[in-house]
Structure 1
Amino acid sequence: MATTVDRLLPTDEAEALLQLTREIATKELAPQVDELEEQAAFPVDAYRLLGSSGLLSLPFAEEFGGGAQPYEVYLQVVEEIATAWPSVAVGTSVHSLTASVVDGNANDEQRAHWLPQMLSGDWLGAYCLSEPQAGSDVSGIRTKAVRDGDEYVVTGTKQWISNGSCADYYILFARTSEDAKGGLSAFVVPADTEGMSFGPPEKKMGLACDVTTQVIFEGARIPATHLIGAEGRGMRVALSALDAGRLGIAAVATGIAQAALAHAVEYAGEREQFGKPIGAFQGMQFLLADMAAEVERARATYLHAARLKDAGRPFSRQASIAKLTATDAAMRVTTDAVQVLAGNGYTREYPVERLFRDAKVTQIFEGTNQIQRMVIGRDLLR
């Protein structure tokens, strides 16, 4: 098919990983997606399959059970998953984000204790940063963690938490002092912690299988040994992790756009009007060409940022550019895919309607695209 992705991968091992991902996405994930998205069911079996296949641990060191793959390879795996099931790709990205917090900031003993379970596929993580009154403004976090002997007592509410009540552990950001920027700290919180509860799943426009809930802490006691790094480093930890997380969402958005393009091209080659396929009309060819250019541009931006990250170079601005570019592209491409399918595209009988709904939130989470523009502008003027 003309819409097959022509990838340039760094090794034969990476080629094999992408082939494995494509097979799993096509044979195992895609046949379930419509039914489970209608049910808004948490896809636990999908995550177990990805975990047992080694696809939840790719960008981490082998000593902890990781795949030791470059970030550019991991992101292309996420994109392939997203072409079949965007909700699962988002969950995969969030899980990697949580593990990266531990990998990059915990001490050696904590990494040795937690990372093997996080990377085995037995544990799935959630990232507890946003609150009802603190989304893009991380300094506005109100959840408090008060030291009491060998424990912290946590009180507050987190909002919009992907994997919500379904995760096995939570990376929590809470206030350990009143200092707006230097008062946040990060913790690992097991799912069975007393005093932690969950709101009902949000009834969302799209990504129904990405179960999203409030996480509520009412005097929850967390061992002091679960503090990641030192007190007061939470702001730095959160923002550095989000750079990598934004690339995950850029890859998800690119996968959504790629899937929409593929469906539109297939439909344009089959649907006939005025005695010939609609793809034979120049107007339709131009529309499809613009869609393809959007997808290629999105992929190029996230790969450039990932390669900077792999090289150990600064990539924060490029991560924001990738997130902005790819998610705006996903919205435009899915909108145009609905238009290509016309009336059929507006029905749930065809997948482009779901992809259109799934695309919208990519412009919102992991920092709205307006925030990304602020990040980019400030970096340029620094």
Structure 2
Amino acid sequence: MLSIRNIFKLVQKGIGHVKGNNLHLSNTLLCQQRTLSHAAPGSPASLYFFTEEEKMMKETVSRLAEEKISPLVKKMEQDSKFDSSVVDALFKNGLMGIDVETEYGGSGLSFFASVLAVEEVAKVDPSLSIFVHIQNTLVNALISKIGTLEQKKKYLPLLTQSVAGSFCLSESYSGTDAFSLKTVAKKEGNEYIINGSKMWISNSDIAEVFIVMANANPSAVSIHTI
């Protein structure tokens, strides 16, 4: 089976590019540089049409979902947990590090590609698609965009290859309102002491890496203090 990582390699070699060399990849979280052959120069790429690379990726994920995930959906629902073979298949085929640079073990594709992968998995198992979504668009994305170089080198190779991550935001008082967090992070020397509680912790049952949202300056809450 063609994996997500192999698709990236094919594109890099010129095998999977859009006609006219109009394929542009970007790891920018909020702005995807997607150029399509039918789009006017300088205009945003339509979300209803896909590059050749994106089509290849959708087909690969769809085939993986039908062959590896679909046969075990009923069992996973009954057991209320993901089958380990399914989780292993997600990592092995590059679905858990789509938007992460290849130097950290990722597939080196775009944030938009992550969204497409989540949609294909959701067609077979919506619950599992949330797992893929959290790993790619929350955990990996945060470390990739705002993590230190040391953090990237330490955590991204694990998160793209074998380790599930968790996103810890919700609290009983604030829900998902990040600016109302009661959990605080107090700096002591070179470390932070976290004090508070969380609920509805995504992927908590299988995760080994946890991203915990806390307020480092309760007296002046802003995006820069979380």
Residue 159 of structure 2 corresponds to residue 118 of structure 1: yes
Give the Å deviation of 1:169: 0.5
Q: Does 1:164 align with 2:204?
A: yes
Letter of the 2:105 counterpart: G
Q: Which residue of 2 aligns with 1:23?
A: 63
Taking structure 2 as the reference length, the TM-score comes to 0.72
Give 1 or 2: higher strand fraction.
1
Match of 1:268 in 2: none
How large is the RMSD of aligned CA atoms in angstroms?
1.9
Provide the residue aligned with 2:185 in structure 1: 145
Per-residue deviation, 1:171:
0.6
| Pair 1:172–1:16, CA change in 2 (3 A) | same
Mapped partners of 1:52, 1:146: distance in 2: 38
- Aligned counterparts, 1:282-297, within 5 A: none
Following the alignment from structure 2 to structure 1, what is the Cα–Cα distance between the partners of residues 90 and 100? Answer: 15
| 1:80 paired to 2:120 | yes
2:221 corresponds in structure 1 to 181
Counterpart position of 2:12 = none
**Residues 169-219 of structure 1, C-alpha deviation per residue, up to 9 Å, x if partnerless?**
01111122223523x7xxxxxxxxxxxxxxxxxxxxxxxxxxxxxxxxxxx
CA deviation after TM superposition for structure 1 residue 233, in Å: 4.1
Runs (4+) of structure 1 moved beyond 6 Å? none
Q: Distance in 1 between matches of 2:49 and 2:128?
A: 24
Q: Distance in 1 between matches of 2:102 and 2:142?
A: 17
Q: CA deviation at 1:159?
A: 1.0
Q: Displacement of 1:47 after TM fit?
A: 1.9
* Structure with the higher fraction of residues in helix conformation: 1
Residue of structure 2 in register with 1:154 after alignment: 194
Q: Which residue of 2 aligns with 1:100?
A: 141
User: Is the partner of 2:214 in helix, strand or coil?
Assistant: strand
Any gaps of 5 or more consecutive residues in structure 1? 1-6, 185-231, 235-382
Partner of 1:48: 88
- Which amino acid in 2 is paired with 1:153? I
Q: How many residues align?
A: 178
What TM-score comes out, normalization by structure 1 length?
0.44
1:326-379 per-position Cα deviation (integer Å, ceiling 9, x unaligned): xxxxxxxxxxxxxxxxxxxxxxxxxxxxxxxxxxxxxxxxxxxxxxxxxxxxxx
Deviation at 1:153, TM superposition (A): 2.0
Is the alpha carbon distance of 1:146 and 1:68 closer, same or farther for their aligned partners in structure 2, counting shifts above 3 Å?
same
- Give the equivalent residue in structure 1 for 2:150: 109
* Bigger Rg, which one: 1
Q: Tell me if structure 2 keeps the 8 A contact 1:54–1:67.
A: yes
Identity rate, percent: 25
1:162 is paired with a residue whose SS is coil
